Chain A
Amino acid sequence: MSYFIDRRPNARNKSAVNRQRFLKRYRSHIKRAVEESVNRRSITDMERGEKVSIPTKDISEPVFQHGPGGRRTVVSPGNKEFAEGDRLRRPSGGGGGGGSGEGQASNQGEGMDEFVFSLSREEFLDFVFDGLELPHLERKQLRVLEETRPVRAGISREGVPARINIVRSMREAHARRIGMRAPLKRALREARDALETEERKDPVLRNPSRIDELKAEIERLEKRIEAIPFLDTYDLRYNHLTNQPMPSNQAVMFCVMDVSGSMTQAHKDIAKRFFLLLYLFLERNYEKVELVFVRHHTVAKEVDEEEFFYSRETGGTIVSSALSLVDSIIEARYSPEQWNLYVAQASDGDNWDDDSSTCLELLDESLMHKLQYFTYVEITPHAHQALWEAYDMVRAAYPERFAMQQIVQPEDIYPVFRELFRQRSQA
């Protein structure tokens, strides 16, 4: 009568679609909550999900109900001291007292006005980066590369046994068998009918030679039908694979930061958050993202992450040193043919007087041709200096691939980031 089934290996995300529907429906609510939380929490813990709450009244599913008022009788358990006819003060705030049978007001004050739920990390980041896009992804993807991968490309008549498409082969065989048998079967039926009519005739009228002839014919046809092969090499079909060029799915992100004396730890924190956001964003678009940290004061140096953010340096500032180092690293290790290259630079805007024009030259002549995108954030409450002006000219020359923004406080990071990567209309 009873049997057990182990369903544990089955898929466990049966509700995923419904969950997505819900998130989609309350998109604006959730987005607001996510934006608040991005500004509130330190960007270093972007890696976890987020608790989101939505006012219950916004997501209620209305049904006809009794409202408070009128006369109702409620039966409750646990009488201790009441006697019939006792009069009690109406509990304050309870409106019309208990409901009717079910849904008595919750005593746990929380959780009634707000519908609270958690977003997973993926969903959270989806909302964080919602409406943003990496500019010029398509350019690199269209470029033909040596890398290829096999993809399904229909059915072919030739192939290796390992790729036999059984269903298609059997279908072909079936069709062939039907096709080849049909005329034989028809002839066979006719011969049998003829034989039968012949045999039904009066023995005197029978034509023995005709009967023998028909019998031989039937035998011949039966043999031929039997000889039709169940599966012929002609029937075989193979899954066909072709090699398709694979778009490059790897990116390098160069983090360039000024570490001269004028950059305080607060500046660096802001820069770090900005880099992190960019990193997370790139990570969602590419399978593999490599990071290169380049810091500079008067000379540039490639360092590891720890040193990049936390070692202290002093001295003047020559931005071009970093840019030329980036250029040489690209030459040495990251061919633009195979890598999507991104540079994110953070600085307080200081630069050695004559250097800004060198930067302009370097960018214009060499770097900008290789890069996917260059973002520059200037972390300063003060007026812009020569570097900003030089970069402004680069922006004018490469409006599609160069972006710059100013950040004053940590709260600006997310809005600035959104501004830099805002989805651009195709116009």
Chain B
Amino acid sequence: MTRRKPIATGSDWNFEVLEAYERAIAELAREYRLDIYPNQIEIITSEQMMDAYASVGMPIGYHHWSFGKQFLSVEQAYRRGQMGLAYELVINSNPCIAYLMEENSLMMQVLVIAHACYGHNSFFKGNYLFQTWTDASAIVDYLVFARKYIAKCEERHGVEAVEQLLDACHALQNYGVDRYKRPSPISAEEEARRQEEREAYLQTQVNTLWSTIPTRAGGQDAESWHDHENDPLGLHRHGRYPSEPQENLLYFLEKNAPLLESWQREIVRIVRKLAQYFYPQRQTQVMNEGWATFWHYTLMNRMYDDGLIDEGLMLEFLQSHTSVVSQQDFDSPYFNGINPYALGFAMFSDIKRICEAPTDEDREWFPEIAGSDWLETLHFAMHNFKDESFIQQFLSPKVIRDLRLFSLVDDDRDDSLQVEAIHDDRGYRRIREALSVQYALSAREPNIQVWEADIRGDRSLTLRHVQDRRRPLGQSLFPVLRHLHQLWGFPIKLESVENNDIVRRYQWPIPEPARESA
């Protein structure tokens, strides 16, 4: 290939140069089969970037104090120089909106275009989680709808009432996702129309639930539930409601909370929908960043090889890239967990290496992909995995060795920590397993589900926490239960269950005698 002239030199950028680079990157990206949404690249100032930050990556957000808090903390950190702003922010929408800061140098802008507009963008479009759980073409419309609706509620019911409701919903937003049901995409107009319909119907639905006596659930389950001692007449012999535990707390509240008004249900729904939109992002951090980093690295190198960028720019790029993918050791004062950029980049690069130049070890560990077409394999990995399964599937002994990963067991029954595995033959699989669990959402967040709503008795709502390896719930439990109580309107009970035994019970409001003894 003939070396071409660099598109530009120096560190200043202008729109013509950016467009020229964007075209060059697009051309290369086609070669690498990166399938993307159209890009909408917006140049913004640092203040606007702080605004964008504060709305946690939503281009249009409803108003809430917590976003103000976010903004203030970003502003403070930025002003004091403790933190640089991210060079870019990219939104999973169609067209894919990417923000570029005007302060960035030319190299930075090119890097960001490659990273966000081709890396993240193709990930959003290709990864199965995003395909299943988000609808890129509807999100901006939905955000507009949500903002307008919440503003309307504030006008009608007061800012404070809406704020309290949002506080309560935010506390539960991680429990607002249907993990198994595919949601259907709808536009804002459609949403607004449906909202009105829902408003009318929903309320009657709830009333129906609470006014009719549930039909007797037959079968084993109801029978085993029946307490013959205290209820010989079988007054309480009926199925549990809900008959299956519900993992989507917000959905359950939206549909069943007895006292919520219809606008309140709609706001619960909005928070739930947005939580669902962010759900894939929480599960693909390593993959998403790794993929984008891999591609900016590959694309920048290609452009350098083709002569489109000069040495100066390349050096600047390498310096910046190196700091992005640096991993501090666990004992470093700057250690802040595993850097998802570093881990993801190392893994994707390693997959490429395994495909192109497999060693005997790789052939043993990855017989299917060793020696295969690297681009094909990379795309396969990007499309079909999330962090948890990606690590389980692709974390190679070489990456474990390079990062010198080790796993440590911390057991509160043991007065010392134990090194369970290190980067050796005996440890690879165990480390891979442990790291995979570490990224599993189900292990990171307590598993809490709706167990029973006592619709014939005191209307209390019982949740079940399936305790895992004796890890108890944290201190924030009671404030969350309080929020839950606000939504449900009747007492909340929570049981921690491990190995089918109830190990702890919590209740809100705290019963009087307990309060005295506490």
Residues of A within 8 A of B (CB): 1-8, 10, 12-15, 17-25, 59-80, 82-90, 96-98, 100-104, 106-107, 115-118
Instruction: Kindly state the separation between the CA atoms of A102 and B426 in the bound complex, as whole angstroms.
Output: 26
Chain B interface, >50% SS class = mixed
Question: 6 tightest A-B contacts by CB?
Answer: A78-B329, A22-B68, A70-B471, A18-B68, A67-B474, A2-B39
A87 contacts B417, C-beta separation under 8 Å: yes
A81 to chain B, nearest CB (A): 10
Stretch from B45-53, B125-133, B194-202 contacting the other chain: B45-53
Q: Which residues of A contact B330 (CB under 8 A)?
A: 76-79
In the assembled complex, which residues on chain B have CB atoms less than 8 Å from the CB atom of A22? 65-66, 68-69, 71-72
Whether A12 contacts B63 in the complex (CB less than 8 A), given A3-B41, A77-B338, comes out as no
Residues on B with beta carbons closer than 8 Å to the beta carbon of A87 = 416-419
B337 engages A102 (CB within 8 Å) = yes
Partner of A12, one of B45, B64, B67, B337: B45
Chain-A contact segment, one of B266-274, B352-360, B400-408: B400-408
Shortest distance between the CB of A223 and any CB in chain B (Å): 44
In the complex, 11 of the A-B residue pairs with CB atoms within 8 angstroms, ordered by the A residue number, are: A3-B39, A7-B48, A15-B71, A67-B474, A77-B405, A79-B330, A84-B424, A84-B427, A85-B418, A98-B408, A117-B73
Q: Which residue from chain B places its CB closest to the CB of A115 in the assembled complex?
A: B73
Which residues on A sit within 8 Å (CB–CB) of B423? 79
Residues of A near B415 (CB, < 8 A) are 90
B393 within 8 A of A: no
Shortest Cβ distance from B20 into chain A, in angstroms?
A: 11
B410 at interface (Cβ–Cβ under 8 A)? yes
**Shortest distance from the beta carbon of B339 to any chain A beta carbon, whole Å:** 8
Residues of chain B contacted by A77 (CB below 8 angstroms): 327-330, 338, 403-405
Selecting from B210-218, B374-382, B433-441, the interface stretch reads B433-441
List A contacts of B407 (CB < 8 A).
Answer: 73-76
* Contacts A18-B54, A70-B472 known; 9 new A-B pairs at CB < 8 A: A12-B47, A21-B159, A22-B66, A62-B477, A64-B174, A71-B413, A77-B404, A84-B420, A85-B419
How distant is B330 from chain A, measured CB to nearest CB, in Å?
A: 4
Q: Is the CB of B409 within 8 A of A73?
A: yes
Q: Would B72 and A66 count as touching, CB distance under 8 A?
A: no
B228, chain A: closest CB distance, angstroms? 36
- Output the least CB separation between B137 and chain A (Å): 15
B246 at the interface (CB under 8 A from A): no
- Contact flags (1/0) for B163-174 with A, using CB distance below 8 Å? 100010011111
CB distance from A128 to the nearest CB of B (A): 19
Given contact pairs A21-B64, A64-B480, A75-B438, A13 touches B51 in the complex (Cβ within 8 A): yes
CA distance A388 to B64 in the complex (A): 52
**Structural contact, A72 and B469, CB atoms closer than 8 A:** yes
Is B28 on the interface with A (CB-CB < 8 A)?
Answer: no
A10: chain B residues within 8 A (beta carbon):
44, 48
Does B438 lie within 8 Å of A69, measured CB to CB?
no
Is A19 a contact partner of B472 (Cβ separation < 8 A)?
no
Known: A87-B417, A98-B410. A6 touches B38 (CB 8 A): no
Complex contact B410–A96 (CB within 8 A): yes
Report which of A1, A21, A74, A79 forms a contact with B438, defined as CB distance below 8 A: A74
A102 and B444: CB pair below 8 A? yes
B117 near A: Cβ within 8 Å? yes
Q: Which of A2, A63, A68 neighbours the largest number of chain B CB atoms within 10 Å of its CB?
A: A2
Q: Which residues of B contact A89 (CB under 8 A)?
A: 416-417
Write the chain B residue with the least CB distance to A6.
B43
A119 nearest in chain B by CB position: B72
**Proximity string of chain B (427-469) to chain A, C-beta cutoff 8 Å, 1 when within and 0 when not:** 1000100110111000111101000000000000000000111
Residue of B nearest to A60 (CB): B476
Q: Whole-angstrom distance from the CB of A97 to the nearest CB of chain B? A: 4
Cβ–Cβ contact B71 & A2, under 8 A: no
For A106, the chain B residues whose CB sits under 8 A away are: 336
Given contacts A15-B54, A66-B473, A71-B470, contact A79 B406 (CB under 8 A): yes
Q: Across the interface, do B51 and A14 meet the contact criterion of CB distance under 8 Å?
A: yes
Q: Which residue of A lies closest to B36 (CB)?
A: A1
Chain A residues whose C-beta falls within 8 Å of the C-beta of B431 in the assembled complex: 75
Q: Is the CB of A104 within 8 A of B39?
A: no
Cβ A86 vs Cβ B419 within 8 A: yes
Q: Is the CB of A78 within 8 A of B331?
A: yes
Min CB–CB distance A123 → chain B (angstroms): 11
Given contacts A18-B63, A64-B445, A64-B477, A71 and B412 within 8 Å (CB-CB): yes
Measured between alpha carbons, how far is A273 from B405 in the docked complex, in Å?
Answer: 62
Residues of B contacting A116 in the complex (Cβ-Cβ under 8 angstroms): 76
Contact across chains for B439 and A101 when beta carbons are under 8 A apart: yes
Known interface pairs A7-B42, A70-B412; A75-B51 also in contact (CB < 8 Å): no
Does B102 have its Cβ within 8 Å of any Cβ on chain A?
yes
Contact flag A8-B48 (CB < 8 Å), given A21-B64, A115-B69? yes
Decide if A2 touches B22 in the complex (CB within 8 Å): yes
Chain A residues whose C-beta falls within 8 Å of the C-beta of B19 in the assembled complex: 4
Query: Do A66 and B418 have beta carbons less than 8 Å apart?
Result: no
Q: Is B483 an interface residue (CB 8 A)?
A: yes
* Complex contacts, B42 vs chain A, CB 8 Å: 4-7
B253 at the interface (CB under 8 A from A): no
